[in-house]
Structure 1
């Protein structure tokens, strides 16, 4: 085929399941050596489109054509598609722990593709695998090639996935949300890695990349051209610079206008402390290999010398990479983790003075609640929304009868913007943003003073994220709630937190007023986080400080 023709050309593609159409009349082209981003919210049809290129969507009805290098992929047999997958078109999935086989080493999984498509023998496949791991930046590739997925960090697993995808030097790489679950610094490394590898392969084989994402900062940095989908329809396509500077479609304008906005009230000087942490240290026991293991286990200090206060109506943001101690500190505050040293006080009383399983401890639990990162995994699929939200009321407010409890649950659902008919429905019937609202309603049911928010918006689209952050801000103003807000998204931190605490290797390395820290960070680690996060221009921060 002529090099002047697109490598991938999707023509009038429609995808349906039964009577429901999820993609309608899609036309999109990707040229050789080009990086194109396909963006949109959950349910827009972008991931289904990407999976359909490889014919990985079961029971789907197709109309139109998916032309790859002049051949219609929709007309190929399943056997012919097996020759295309991995060899000509490869895919990097969002969650490597789900995509990688936990029973096989990384080396064996890379070798499988090389054996099937290139017929390499084991020794040659292993040598190629080591070289691929080295190219993707995994340290000690000669050793890591024999590691199982669970023995690698999140960033290393994603690099291993990229190595697998590039094993047979495909001409088209599909990357479906490849950085969503990663910290900002690891995310930057993966983006730089993809750009570098694509440019190398583009110069040699003209490899193109189709990126599927809702991360607009990632799109701005990575893509040369952007296509925007809404409810299965392609609404706008343009160069990245033109689309970000002058979006034409109202939906694109709304997406670009969905960056978190700061709308928090100052904390009164007389506000009492809800939480006091002094000299906190937390240890984990670790098994020791070899002869030393016969004499006991070792200790790993996950949190060291942490001092922190949180006042009524205040949000303190905790930011840092995975393994920095953020979640360990939060679990200690909630009484889920025993402190090795130091003191945690709730409302002026030491946490250690409460006897576990006592009535006092039960009352303390009502004062502290948590909203987890994953709105899909934190709600029981076997319980109705009324049962989920009302569970805390049954435990902490036993004086309420069934009718009063149901009425209170309905009030809570209305408070978080959900319809009254949600009571008898199940979690799977709601979107991700709606499920997070249900989790917030559950936390509010027992009228807490302190909410621990552990990455509550990282799994949400930008517009849904904005809605949830707006809800949390409104609830804080109405009820004087105190938030311990854990995140690695500095844009969210900038919008929500009065003060920010930066953690690295279990220690606080910097803290202070959020806008001042983000404008003029003093610690090199904070500076590296800001550089990696691809934040908004400094002028915006200075304007708010003024």
Structure 2
């Protein structure tokens, strides 16, 4: 007998998750209809990912209460053996980072076939053919060849497409997508979103498949979801249709989330400001081993950066925009003296980097340049206290400073970046992502640099924390007249922070100019595609707006 059409596919009723004394999700009630796309939005720690994992009963050492009904059957009452039959078959999941979610020891084809074999009893040849069809359907080129590829042999976008193919293998009724585009470039992000919408609409017409999207990307929500639910600290605070929620948010937390887009409040560069950085004709080569019989003839050369010219003045921010592989991080590493071999010239405040022959001279110059990395957890030593992390640069570049003066300087730096002085006695794992990034900024400021290289410093942070860190960087620039070389693929961040911008593609600068001019009237098709992807709109709309 068929289920009533108007009955929700998934009904979450007064659902709670407790880890000991900590309540991660509290009395959550939410329903998802057949064929519906719902977004669950909130910052880290809001309980949205825990909720998604709980649907599959993948949360360990937690006390679950309430009801989780899939087509009227309570998933919380199922045995582990019963849940194994549901996972992948009725409910499937696309994870945030496919490189960790995919098994590196098995080909993509074998991982797709595993689900088909377990849930549908397919024979190997039939499962392989079905896998090829799924890869073709998700837009992976040459699926007959790629099905035998290991995860590391695929690009980030291809790995995510393979994950989607695996999730759809058994045609589930409910697809959970947990931050499926966070680690991807903006153009690949839009491709994945469009793919998910296309596949969901196809499956919805045939089987009524619904999607629950977990994200904090508001542009993605506007593009993808029909309805939005907002969570704060484990509590559902607001739910509405996408249009109604964005046009008229009711809860203060929702309003704060929607107001988290960074605002431009930078000062104009002083007239006659001296030039801090001057790069002319920079080219960077990598030596790579040939494939197959070519490896017998030694290494070949790959040019990552082609003849780049750029300059940066005191108190100015130069933005570098481009996708992964565009050469922007290689360019920054070369400016910092961390990448070889390179040709061309790099002058720091009139002093040529190539002219420095001894370690002491190089150390003196490098103290005027510092870097803040994308991942604040990976860039801070877990074995060192905050005091040791921030004070390390002082110990190297200012050996004449005594221990008490160094400790006082660390305390002052922590206060400068909005952290309590007592934080210096703690370790990185004891802080949130935003706090760790503040510590990384304090470390960079310790030796009083003139130039900061900021390599995607906010891409790993929630939107409201991102705004706080950007405001901090803006205030520090105004106070100390710092120069920033700011690398990002987020055009909203670039719009807020950069005085000028260069756009890189395949190691070359394809467009450059004042930030507002480039973003409002991009002349190069690649810049137009980046802008369209960032806004989640067709490129034709951008071209029409310019015209």
Pairwise CA distance, 1:400 = 1.7
Moved more, 44-53 or 334-343: 334-343
Q: Which deviations, in whole Å up to 9, do the C-alpha atoms of 1:364-415 show, x marking residues without a partner?
A: 1211111111112111111111111111111111122221111110100000
What corresponds to 1:527 in structure 2? 528
**Is 1:153 matched with 2:155?**
yes
Pairwise CA distance, 1:501 = 0.2
Pairwise CA distance, 1:339 = 4.1
What corresponds to 1:490 in structure 2? 491
Q: Which deviations, in whole Å up to 9, do the C-alpha atoms of 1:327-380 show, x marking residues without a partner?
A: 010000011102432111111111111136x11111112111111111121111
Pairwise CA distance, 1:131 = 0.6
Q: Secondary structure at the match of 1:338?
A: coil
Assess, with a 3 A threshold, how the Cα gap between structure 1 residues 122 and 535 changes in structure 2: closer, same or farther: closer
Pairwise CA distance, 1:3 = 2.1
Distance 2:20 2:456 in 1: 36
**Is 1:191 matched with 2:193?**
yes
Distance 1:418 1:235 in 2: 29
**RMSD of aligned residue pairs (Cα, Å):** 1.3
What corresponds to 2:480 in structure 1? 479
Indicate conservation of the 8 Å contact 2:91/2:173, yes or no: yes
TM-score of the superposed pair, with normalisation by structure 1: 0.97
What corresponds to 2:141 in structure 1? 139
Distance 1:182 1:246 in 2: 30
What corresponds to 1:294 in structure 2? 296
Distance 2:169 2:402 in 1: 62
Q: Which deviations, in whole Å up to 9, do the C-alpha atoms of 1:225-265 show, x marking residues without a partner?
A: 00000000000000000000000000000100111100000
What corresponds to 1:389 in structure 2? 390
What corresponds to 1:263 in structure 2? 265
What corresponds to 2:545 in structure 1? none
**Is 1:499 matched with 2:500?**
yes
Pairwise CA distance, 1:535 = 7.2
Pairwise CA distance, 1:103 = 1.0
TM-score of the superposed pair, with normalisation by structure 2: 0.97
What corresponds to 1:39 in structure 2? 41
Q: Secondary structure at the match of 2:367?
A: helix
Q: Secondary structure at the match of 1:108?
A: helix
Distance 2:333 2:276 in 1: 16
What corresponds to 1:226 in structure 2? 228
Indicate conservation of the 8 Å contact 2:368/2:448, yes or no: yes
**Is 1:52 matched with 2:54?**
yes
Distance 1:382 1:18 in 2: 28
After TM superposition, the structure 1 = structure 2 runs for residues 89-488 of structure 1, keeping only pairs within 5 Å, are 89-355=91-357, 358-488=359-489
Q: Which deviations, in whole Å up to 9, do the C-alpha atoms of 1:149-206 show, x marking residues without a partner?
A: 1111111111111111111111100000001111110000000000000000000000
Distance 2:386 2:294 in 1: 51
Q: Secondary structure at the match of 2:23?
A: strand
Distance 1:222 1:511 in 2: 32
Distance 1:114 1:337 in 2: 46
The number of aligned residues is 537
Q: Which deviations, in whole Å up to 9, do the C-alpha atoms of 1:111-134 show, x marking residues without a partner?
A: 111111111111111111111110
Moved more, 393-402 or 64-73: 393-402
Q: Which deviations, in whole Å up to 9, do the C-alpha atoms of 1:494-527 show, x marking residues without a partner?
A: 0000001000010000000000110111111111
Indicate conservation of the 8 Å contact 1:13/1:24, yes or no: yes
Pairwise CA distance, 1:269 = 2.1
Distance 2:7 2:318 in 1: 54
Distance 1:32 1:421 in 2: 52
Structure 2: tracts of 5 or more residues without a match: 543-547
Pairwise CA distance, 1:287 = 1.0
Q: Which deviations, in whole Å up to 9, do the C-alpha atoms of 1:281-312 show, x marking residues without a partner?
A: 11111111222221111111110010000111
What corresponds to 2:510 in structure 1? 509
Indicate conservation of the 8 Å contact 2:190/2:536, yes or no: no
Indicate conservation of the 8 Å contact 1:36/1:225, yes or no: yes
Distance 1:253 1:290 in 2: 57
Assess, with a 3 A threshold, how the Cα gap between structure 1 residues 137 and 493 changes in structure 2: closer, same or farther: same
Q: Secondary structure at the match of 1:533?
A: helix
Q: Secondary structure at the match of 1:423?
A: helix
Structure 1: tracts of 5 or more residues without a match: 542-546
Distance 2:454 2:338 in 1: 15
What corresponds to 1:544 in structure 2? none
Distance 2:397 2:220 in 1: 44
Indicate conservation of the 8 Å contact 1:367/1:447, yes or no: yes
Aligned pair partner of 1:28 in 27, 30, 42 = 30
Indicate conservation of the 8 Å contact 2:177/2:213, yes or no: yes
Distance 2:377 2:211 in 1: 29
